DNA sequence: ATGGCCTGCAACGCAGGA
């Protein structure tokens, strides 16, 4: 079972990249973030032509998430319970034996801003939601754009980023608290080269210089993490013309969850 | 050089991203 995540930064602009990537990589599930389109504009025909179903939780201009899969997604949840929010950042679905929760965690803009407070409150509500989901589903995958670099290995220039949004202690503590529920960062289960990132700023040749962050994660519940065979970032789409600023990340589970 | 670029929307600049 190959489960992938990709922040595409506009599905309208990136539909060709997504279709090409699906055909080349053949994941069982692909979680997308930052669609920036409403559900009525979702390109179901294009996705179906690649051999995938899709469920979307879209929004005009901002945010928006979707799950593409071979098998039918059921038991959908499209918001954090007991958290009033107009922003479309959550989509959970059961696909075969797996519970998949696709997240677009708020960016937070700057430490101390209203958007930063919203991010921390959102992460609190996520914690409560995941605590309940973990008790309900043993094969749980929580993946997406977390907008938090968990530790300094995930930051190209840890000194320069100290105190910045995406690396601040409060954000890291909130993510650690979620891991402490019994979730594993599958990427770190494996030996990895240094300086592997999943996002690079469009500016200043950041990708060419590999000045990035690893903020796109595939978390797995502890029992499922033991069956994870690999977790890797695919930087190839970031080299294309007019790329997303994020690269896809894929984890493989198997053979018997 | 604490800015650089990209997207969407609506307008002929802005908000937002990370």
pLDDT in tens, A1-13: 999 999 999 999 9
- CB A192 under 7 Å to nucleic chain B: no
Phi-psi sector, A166: left (phi>0), alpha (psi -120 to 50), beta: left
The full DSSP string for A189-231 is GS---SS--SEE-SSTTTTTTT-EE--EEEEEEHHHHTTEEEE
Q: Is the pLDDT score of A253 beyond 60? A: yes
Q: Is the pLDDT score of A74 beyond 90? A: yes
Indicate the pairing of strand A65-69 with strand A74-77: unpaired
* Shortest-distance nucleotide from A199 CA to C1': B18
| Close Cβ partners of A81 (under 8 Å, ≥ 6 residues apart) | A125, A128, A129, A132
The helix or strand, by DSSP H or E, that contains position A114, with its residue range, turns out to be helix A114-136
Residue A255 is predicted with a pLDDT of 84
Radius of gyration of chain A (CA): 17
Confidence band of A100 (pLDDT split at 50, 70, 90): very high
Q: Is the pLDDT score of A257 beyond 90? A: no
Query: Which residue has 């025909």 as its token pair?
Result: A45
* Active-site choice (A104, A116, A154, A245): A104
pLDDT in tens, A104-138: 999 999 999 999 999 999 999 999 999 999 999 99
A104 among known catalytic residues: yes
Mean pLDDT of chain A: 97
Q: Is the pLDDT score of A256 beyond 70? A: no
A145 among known catalytic residues: yes
Query: What does the alpha-carbon distance between residue A162 and residue A208 come to, in Å, rounded to a whole number?
Result: 23
């Amino acid at each position: 079972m190959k489960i992938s995540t990709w922040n595409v930064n506009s599905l309208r602009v990136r539909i060709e990249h997504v279709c090409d990537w699906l055909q080349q990589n053949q994941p069982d599930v692909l979680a997308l973030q930052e669609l920036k389109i409403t559900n009525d504009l979702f390109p179901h025909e294009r996705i179906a032509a690649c051999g995938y179903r899709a469920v979307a939780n879209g929004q005009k201009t901002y945010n928006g998430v979707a799950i593409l899969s071979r098998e039918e997604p059921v038991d959908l949840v499209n918001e954090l319970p007991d958290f009033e929010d107009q922003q479309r950042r959550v989509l959970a679905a059961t696909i075969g034996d797996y519970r998949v929760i696709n997240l677009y965690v708020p960016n937070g803009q700057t430490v101390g801003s209203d958007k930063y407070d919203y991010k921390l409150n959102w992460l609190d509500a996520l914690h409560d939601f995941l605590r309940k989901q973990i008790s309900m589903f043993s094969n749980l995958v929580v993946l997406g754009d977390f907008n938090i670099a968990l530790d300094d290995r995930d930051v190209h220039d840890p000194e320069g980023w100290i105190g910045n949004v995406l690396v601040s202690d409060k954000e890291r503590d909130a993510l650690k608290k979620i891991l402490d529920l019994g979730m594993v960062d599958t990427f770190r289960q494996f030996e990895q080269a240094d300086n592997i990132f999943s996002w690079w700023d469009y500016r200043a040749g950041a990708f060419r210089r590999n000045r990035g962050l690893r903020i796109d994660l595939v978390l797995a519940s502890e029992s499922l993490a033991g069956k994870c065979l690999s977790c890797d970032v695919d930087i190839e789409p970031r080299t294309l013309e007019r790329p997303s600023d994020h690269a896809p990340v894929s984890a493989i589970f198997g053979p018997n969850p």
